[in-house]
């Protein structure tokens, strides 16, 4: 076995592209395409994990300082990338997409599914979810196979205006809806579950959203794929996205897990803490939290 395959986590794109050039090169086929065609699934998994992580840097005193170091991103190109991948999922060409990356094999968040199905069970099979920052329904489509047998599903994505417009035009149906705000969603749908997946760390003021969720009267709250510091003080960084996904850099906050649990525990009982799929930098971890509203406790 070649040395480059033994210490696999140290491999990078250049190594694999050189292998492809030496053995399989065709001018008509890009190196990334060759790699996908010739490498076994386990090799591709580790290659993607170690050579294409998002990169976090810095420890900024405030959000504005981190934002000043970011190159920003083309909101339209990101939307188009997500839309293209989401349409593949909707049409059944791909199993699911995450952050515009498509996956061929199904993958589920079992802790999230357990909360969703429990919520449906205590409501006679009725499930209504407010998915804050839910893109074009990524989590809905990913877990849809487990929701099809429920007599009533209403998955409500709260997103930025351009995502809402795109979602309503290309994805909205009887089960999937799009809204501009938590308040609008609550007024029209009365959802039972609030889902905050990979979103709190990208907000200038995550505490305001947490307060809006508490005031929304949800019976269940699931915080998934969220970055938490391993120490006590939250950390604001700049995240750079791998260019083969899309070119962008933006502020990213790693929260204090204990503080978030303490805030929600005023009104909710913590049901579970579970690991998330994301690869974290050394100073942090990605995790999920599941909460159920305390009986007889309502916001003042």
**Measuring CA to CA, which residue among 292, 289, 255, 286 is closest to residue 272?**
289
> What is the rounded CA–CA span in Å between residue 279 and residue 175?
31
> What is the rounded CA–CA span in Å between residue 7 and residue 169?
47
DSSP string, 269-280: EEEEEEE-SS--
**Measuring CA to CA, which residue among 196, 154, 190, 148 is closest to residue 172?**
154
Which residue did the predictor score with more confidence, 99 or 142?
142
* Residues, the chain: 300
Confidence of residue 31 (pLDDT cuts 50, 70, 90): very low
- pLDDT attached to residue 89: 97
> What is the rounded CA–CA span in Å between residue 139 and residue 288?
14
Confidence of residue 54 (pLDDT cuts 50, 70, 90): low
Indicate the Cα dihedral angle 5, 10, 12, 18, nearest 10°.
-40
Q: How far is CA 298 from the centre of its chain?
A: 29
- pLDDT attached to residue 9: 37
Residue 29 has pLDDT above 60, yes or no: no
> What is the rounded CA–CA span in Å between residue 111 and residue 276?
10
> What is the rounded CA–CA span in Å between residue 238 and residue 63?
10
Point out which residues pair with 268 in neighbouring strands. 293
**Measuring CA to CA, which residue among 265, 258, 259, 240 is closest to residue 250?**
240
> What is the rounded CA–CA span in Å between residue 165 and residue 159?
10
Average pLDDT, the chain: 86
Residue 298 has pLDDT above 90, yes or no: no
Residue 228 has pLDDT above 60, yes or no: yes
Domains of the chain: 10-51 (no CATH), 55-293 (3.40.50.150)
Confidence of residue 171 (pLDDT cuts 50, 70, 90): very high
Confidence of residue 38 (pLDDT cuts 50, 70, 90): low
* Six-digit token string for 161: 């205006």
Residue linked to tokens 């907000």: 203
């Amino acid at each position: 076995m070649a040395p480059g395959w033994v210490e696999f986590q140290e491999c990078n794109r250049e190594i694999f592209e050189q292998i492809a050039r030496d053995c399989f090169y065709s001018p008509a086929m890009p190196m990334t395409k060759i790699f996908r065609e010739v490498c076994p699934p386990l090799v591709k998994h580790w290659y993607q994990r170690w050579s294409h992580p998002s990169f976090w840097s810095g420890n900024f005193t405030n959000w504005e300082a981190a934002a000043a170091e970011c190159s920003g991103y083309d909101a339209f190109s990101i939307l188009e990338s997500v839309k293209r991948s989401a349409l593949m999922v909707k049409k059944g060409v791909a199993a699911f997409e995450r952050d515009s990356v498509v996956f061929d094999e199904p993958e589920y968040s079992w802790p999230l599914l357990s909360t969703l199905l429990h919520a449906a069970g205590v409501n006679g099979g009725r499930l209504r979810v407010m998915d804050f920052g839910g893109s074009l329904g990524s989590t809905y489509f990913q877990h849809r196979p487990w929701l099809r047998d429920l007599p009533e599903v209403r998955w409500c994505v709260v997103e930025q205006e351009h995502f809402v417009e795109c979602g309503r035009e290309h994805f909205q149906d009887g089960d999937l809806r799009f809204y501009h705000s938590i308040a609008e969603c609550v007024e029209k749908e009365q959802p039972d579950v609030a889902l905050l997946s990979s979103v709190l760390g990208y907000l200038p003021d995550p505490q305001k959203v947490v307060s809006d969720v508490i005031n929304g009267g949800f019976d269940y709250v699931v915080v998934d794929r969220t970055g938490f510091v391993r120490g006590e003080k939250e950390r604001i960084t700049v995240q750079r996205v791998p260019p083969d996904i899309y070119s962008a850099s933006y502020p990213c906050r790693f929260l204090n897990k204990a503080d978030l649990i303490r805030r929600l525990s005023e009104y909710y009982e913590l049901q579970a803490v579970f690991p998330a799929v994301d690869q974290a930098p050394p100073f942090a971890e990605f995790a999920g939290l599941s909460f159920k509203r305390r009986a007889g406790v309502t916001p003042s």
